[in-house]
């Protein structure tokens, strides 16, 4: 049986998010700790944050709104927790707003699905 090990990467990819960029990586199954209910994954708040914390690897172009000097915000675990807990940062996606946490989860899932699809081909 052939395995496409060379096509698998834990490395993140850059995505535009408003005026900034987010480096997002897939969430590996070895870190998964949630249940499936009615065909969907159910995450607790802490498990959801752990996924967000892992998947959001880096960012560029984000500054504090109240900082006149417009210094970049360092992406620390505390900053990630605030963004996750309070659903900070959003962009327009057609007629709806998408928050940064939802964007990160969607892109991380797309990356994982791409790896799985490449293995099947």
Pick the closest to residue 26 from 104, 109, 99, 106 (CA basis): 109
**What is d(CA 48, CA 52) in angstroms, rounded to the nearest whole number?**
6
**What is d(CA 25, CA 34) in angstroms, rounded to the nearest whole number?**
19
pTM of the predicted protein model: 0.86
Query: Is residue 8 within 8 Å of 111, Cβ to Cβ?
Result: no
Q: Render each residue's pLDDT in the chain as its tens digit; 121 residues.
A: 777 777 788 899 999 999 999 999 998 877 776 555 666 665 567 788 999 999 999 999 999 888 888 899 999 999 999 999 999 999 998 999 999 999 999 999 999 888 878 777 6
């Amino acid at each position: 049986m052939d395995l496409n090990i060379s096509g698998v990467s834990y490395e993140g990819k850059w995505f535009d998010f408003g005026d900034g960029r987010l480096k997002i990586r897939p969430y590996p199954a070895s870190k998964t700790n949630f249940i499936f209910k009615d065909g969907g994954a159910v995450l607790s708040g802490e498990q959801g944050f752990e996924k967000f914390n892992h998947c959001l690897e880096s960012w560029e172009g984000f500054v504090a709104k109240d900082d006149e000097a417009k210094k970049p915000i360092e992406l620390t675990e505390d900053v990630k927790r605030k963004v996750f807990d309070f659903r900070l940062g959003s962009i327009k996606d057609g007629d709806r707003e998408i928050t940064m946490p939802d964007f990160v989860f969607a892109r991380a899932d797309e990356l994982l699905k791409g790896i799985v699809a490449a293995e099947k081909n």
